Chain A
């Protein structure tokens, strides 16, 4: 079974703090994603990566950065946390089978971040 593990289930941070959300997958997937989930807005893509050291902006990258130094690990960084970044953060990974063959993404259990 594919396993995507997020380092924390719940986090409470103060405004202005630097926050790291860690995600690890154990199935050698090339793609990794960070989504944010808010009520009424569904899941919105923050950043994604299709290879080590490669990253691409999603729909809402402002205020976030990412790091992918190893294939299995994808970190989301909030440089200076703000209250409007209070949300559920979901990490996902997927396999690249071949060009234009899109496979399903597997999700972690989510990190509920509260910025106070």
Chain B
């Protein structure tokens, strides 16, 4: 069975603090994809990153960085020097291959609400 766990329901930080959002996944597939999405108050989910199971390199994009560790089945997301505009719900998701061979049915975690206080 596939599952994504985001144990942190809510996190509150003060602007300029670093914050890490945790994501733990479960799958028996050897080929899978992991994603992070941001959902600002407007409601639309915004894609942040995709990582496949064969690429364990960490990635940095500006203030965002991701740490993928297969050994612990984790795909954690760190925001450095947080800003008020980072306030949103963040979802981690796992993609499995289903019908048609490449249908990427996304399985989501329950999300982490990040509140960045000025």
Contact = CB atoms under 8 A, between A and B. Distances in A.
Interface of A: 30-31, 33, 35, 40-45, 48, 50-51, 56, 58, 88, 90, 92, 94, 96-110, 112
Contact of A40 (B43, B97, B107, B110): B110
Contacts, number: 78
Contact of A42 (B97, B100, B101, B111): B111
Nearest to B47: A104
15 contacts: A31-B104, A33-B105, A40-B9, A56-B98, A90-B45, A92-B45, A97-B102, A99-B97, A99-B102, A100-B97, A104-B35, A108-B44, A109-B43, A109-B44, A110-B44
Interface secondary structure of A, over-half rule: strand
A6 to B, nearest CB: 10
Given A50-B103, A100-B31, A102-B97, A42 B47 contact: no
Contacts of B109: 42
Given A100-B31, A107-B45, A33 B111 contact: no
A44 B93 CA distance: 11
A56 B110 CA distance: 23
Given A43-B93, A45-B106, A109-B42, 17 more contacts: A30-B100, A40-B9, A45-B105, A48-B103, A56-B98, A56-B103, A92-B106, A99-B97, A99-B101, A99-B102, A101-B102, A102-B33, A102-B52, A102-B95, A102-B102, A104-B47, A109-B44
